[in-house]
Amino acid sequence: MTNEHLSNSTIFPLGKKVESNFIGDAYLEMIFTDETPLNTSIGNVTFAPGARNNWHSHAVGQVLLVTGGEGWFQEEGKPAQLLKTGDVVNIPPNVKHWHGATVDSWFVHLAMTPGQTKWLEPVNDEWYNAL
């Protein structure tokens, strides 16, 4: 879509461009990093159209809250799921997956990640463009 679309979907700060483990333009702002009372930090992740993170897994899992736009979530061996504003995803521990924008929409989600993340290979253009 357009930057207007992004503007409409931006609630929390855009933050800084992510420099590794992503393809395309993606941005991260950590909006909660206190040690208490949650067992997790909270990051606001914004993907430009076509941007996506590499395949990865989380040692403890991750919860995504979609706050704007449309994107993809895919676990290895399963079809990609289209995510829209208001969707909530509970990603199990140690499941290889990726998430990112659709080819023509910005995509914004909050990410709550209680444990460590293991980064793997990129979601290459051949894979992504076949969605």
- Which positions touch a second copy (CB under 8 A)? 11-13, 31-32, 34, 36-40, 42, 58, 60-63, 65, 67-68, 85-86, 88, 90, 93, 110, 112, 114-115
User: At closest approach, how far in Å is the CB of 109 from a second copy?
Assistant: 11
Q: H-helix or E-strand containing 73? A: strand 62-75
Cβ–Cβ under 8 Å, residues 52 and 98:
yes
User: At closest approach, how far in Å is the CB of 26 from a second copy?
Assistant: 19
Q: In this structure, what DSSP letter does residue 103 have? A: T
User: At closest approach, how far in Å is the CB of 125 from a second copy?
Assistant: 31
Closer of 37 and 79 to a second copy (Cβ): 37
Closer of 12 and 55 to a second copy (Cβ): 12
Closer of 93 and 104 to a second copy (Cβ): 93
Token output for 83: 């995510």
Q: In this structure, what DSSP letter does residue 85 have? A: T
Give the Cα separation of 69 and 49 in Å (integer): 10
Q: Phi and psi at residue 119, in whole multiples of 5°?
A: -90, 140
User: At closest approach, how far in Å is the CB of 8 from a second copy?
Assistant: 8
